[in-house]
Chains A and B, each alone.
Chain A
Amino acid sequence: MFANPFKLKKQGVLGMNRRNIHYIGAQNNRKYYPLVDNKLKTKVLAQKADIAVPKLLATIEYQSQLRKLKDILRDLDKFVIKPAQGSGGKGILVIVQREDDQFIKPNGQRLDLKDIHHDISNILSGLYSLGGKPDIAMIEKLVEFDPIFERYSYEGVPDIRIIIYKGYPAMAMLRCSTKESDGKANLHQGAVGVGIDMSSGKALFAVQHDTPIIEHPDTGHNFTQLQIPHWEKMLSLAASCYDVTHLGYLGVDIVLDKNLGPLILELNARPGLAIQIANKMGALKRFDMIDIQSENLEIRERVVFSIEHFGVK
């Protein structure tokens, strides 16, 4: 029933306590947290640094602005509403289609303006933010995701999570939504995590609920043939986030837009540990290797290092 902790240690598996003390606590300075916890700030920061992000269509900051919600949404039929300070994908509303006053979610559920009004009102009152602080609702352009992933995702957008340690890409996985995860790409809600080879961008293994699987539970497609396009560009994009956030232990979520290529969806100062299971690889060995590298390398040099040293296949 239990794994031998010494074997785990030998494998270099990072545990929650060690992550909190030695990685989040030691590498991430608290004063930079708002840059990633507040997605609006992240977006502004990324746009300033020429880092590709989904386009921001509107922001709603006060309840009074909700009266104009109809105007704001007039010309939009595909969009995402998210709380600027939400965590774990909470409070994100995805609208893929519009029929007059009916807004359609990826699962086909129809919402009218009143429902959206309610959801935004919840966001503003701080329901999804840490500590219940009043929040801002962001309305973003819906990413038109690359059909290459269509077979591997049930509704929702699959995203690529890359762990950036001290600016070096250390580990990556593709997160595919399932029926169970309600179109969301959160692993603990039942999304599938697919470990990605750092050198080639090819799929390694897939896990759902921390147990290995071979094919997508809903679409039935085998993950082994999966190859992520623009792999090196994606790594560079992710690594560049370190230079603007100064967070040593950073999770970067990237989506692949059909037209725009890789886009940074959000950043996470407390990335989870499931990525290790998807890669069947402990993160500590890679972190230790990065620890002895020079700290003042260019983004390109860091990406090359990761591609050279962290490849499996």
Chain B
Amino acid sequence: MSSRLQVLLIASMFAFIGFFLVWYKVGVLGIPFLPHEKRSVYKVGAEITFEGQKKAALISMALPQPQEGIQILSEDVSSSGFGYAEAQTKNGKRAEWSKRKVEGPQILYYSLEVLMEPGEHNPKPPMEYSEQESESLSDLPNTLRNTAKNLLDDVRSRSADTHSFVAQLIQDFSAKEPSQAVKILLSQSKETKIEILYRLLRYRKISVRKIHGLYLENERRNIALTPMLEAYDGKKWQLYDLNKGKVTRDKNFFIWKQGGDSLIEVTGASKSNISFSLNERQVPVQYLLDKKEVLKKDAILDFSLFSLPISEQNAYKHILLVPFGALVVVLLRVLVGLRTSGTFMPILIALAFMETTLFAGLIMFIVIVGIGLIIRSYLSSLNLLLVSRISAVMIVVILIMSFMSILSFKLGIKEVLTVTFFPMIILAWTIERMSILWEEEGAKEVLIQGGGSLIVAVIAYFVMSNAFISHITFNFPELLLVVLAVIIMLGRYSGYRLSELIRFKSMVTA
């Protein structure tokens, strides 16, 4: 296989793996590709009000279960003076507030922060099914029970199977002009619509359960939970909205309570009421990543840089930028044909610029190299051996740096203190090389190569300090494979450099 083909194969393989992993992380795991991408986080607040009756009170509220597609980030309880505990019952968790002596109006708050997960989920209610008690409607007066039986028989004749039966029944109850039977049932049974429907369905031996939840929408205050019924026909569960009939669960439907237990149970107090409020806010996904909320779930992320301690993470934030600096060097040398003094010196200078800020960094670099060149030209007349000379230059560089720091500190110019971030040895070598260049090829060549190095360093600085680049390198380190692929490809680029188009111009115009 020719080396050209191998290069192509390896590069496209690296690029493919890199892009695939990025796609997986963005599309499936929901790590944002853009740095400032935000996600909606909803704050769902429950507010319980009641009147104390000068005796011990116990308030218990059903708590939502973890559910697919919507993630519970945090919970918050505020209840001054009340003891708070969570209890596990067979129908799920419950919050319990208690106080020995309660007097006057009271308010309890409970709030949750939830995040809708991206991507397509097929939210299914849990399949567990507990044997339900049979319903005989025996507490109803005879006439009312007969009305109910007649209604059910009527509905049965209009339906084909369990699901159409439930749909028909719900439609009868939600119609604008309900039939006489429905009117009588609603007005005389003193029960809520959902309770009547629940009992009627159970009377017909249909497996059914109540679901209460909230649509996660914008700001909402003082709302009640939306009741829904779920019926089972022996094969699958179907969700029914009491107003709309048969529905599928929306992605933004947050189930608060499932099953027969009541939402709140209050003992020792009166006039209890519960209402909910919804609050949406935009949170940068980075914040969620930092909280590691999103991470727990995937092996690929558990094996990522996020799992490192914060200080190492910060080190990698820098290290991972170096390949992009290298890419800039390769691009500018191979495609443009800029000449630099030392291949990777510009990257190290650019890394220093990131600490010093660009303008201050440029000035400090020019001052240090300038003074260094003057001193080096004197050293050259001392006729020293190479290693001693470079060491001497390095010490001079350190002296210049410390002098600059002290002077600027006294003058109150804080920027110059960052001069310590310049790599001294690289500076010493740069001075040495430029000085030789000056002696042998003149000041012009020094300006060309020095200028070239600075241009590359400045461009590398802009690339590496770009918020987008630093975001994607840290969150998608697999993009390094793509950078690697590009660099390998550029390594086989045999076309002209931009500078050659100028250089060889006389060959095509003459």
Contact = CB atoms under 8 A, between A and B. Distances in A.
B10 interface: no
A195 to B, nearest CB: 11
Nearest to A189: B441
Q: Which 3 A-B pairs have the closest CB atoms?
A: A125-B386, A18-B494, A2-B501
Interface in B151-181: none
Nearest to B503: A210
A65 interface: no
Interface residues of B, number: 28
Contacts, number: 88
A15 B501 CA distance: 9
Interface string A60-75: 0001000000000000
A21 B383 contact: no
Contact of B385 (A4, A90, A125): A125
B510 interface: yes
Interface of B: 334, 337, 383, 385-387, 436, 440-442, 492-498, 500-510
Given A15-B497, A127-B436, A277 B504 contact: yes
Interface string A5-45: 10111010101111001100000000000000000000000
A15 B494 contact: yes
Contacts of B386: 122, 125-127, 132
A188 B442 CA distance: 11
Contacts of B497: 15-17
B507 A277 contact: yes
Given A2-B498, A17-B495, A17-B497, A280 B441 contact: no
A15 B496 contact: yes
A17 B492 CA distance: 8
Contacts of A15: 494-497, 500
Contact of A3 (B440, B442, B504): B504
Contacts of B501: 2-5, 8
A9 B506 CA distance: 14
A2 B505 contact: yes
Given A15-B495, A16-B337, A16-B497, A276 B504 contact: yes
A1 interface: yes
18 contacts: A2-B501, A2-B502, A5-B495, A8-B508, A9-B496, A11-B507, A15-B500, A16-B497, A22-B494, A121-B385, A122-B386, A125-B386, A132-B386, A212-B510, A277-B503, A277-B507, A280-B510, A281-B507
Contacts of B504: 3, 8, 13, 210, 276-277
Interface string A86-104: 0000100000000000000
A122 B498 CA distance: 36
Contact of B505 (A3, A9, A276, A280): A3
B507 A13 contact: yes
Interface of A: 1-5, 7-9, 11, 13, 15-18, 21-22, 63, 90, 114, 117-118, 121-122, 125-127, 132, 188-189, 207, 210-212, 273, 276-277, 280-282
A210 B509 CA distance: 13
Contact of A1 (B442, B500, B502, B506): B502
A4 B500 CA distance: 10
B507 A8 contact: yes
A284 to B, nearest CB: 11
Nearest to A118: B383
Interface centre among B492, B501, B507 (most CB of A within 10 A): B507
A132 B334 CA distance: 25
B509 A3 contact: yes
A210 B506 contact: yes
B383 to A, nearest CB: 4
B6 to A, nearest CB: 14
B373 to A, nearest CB: 16
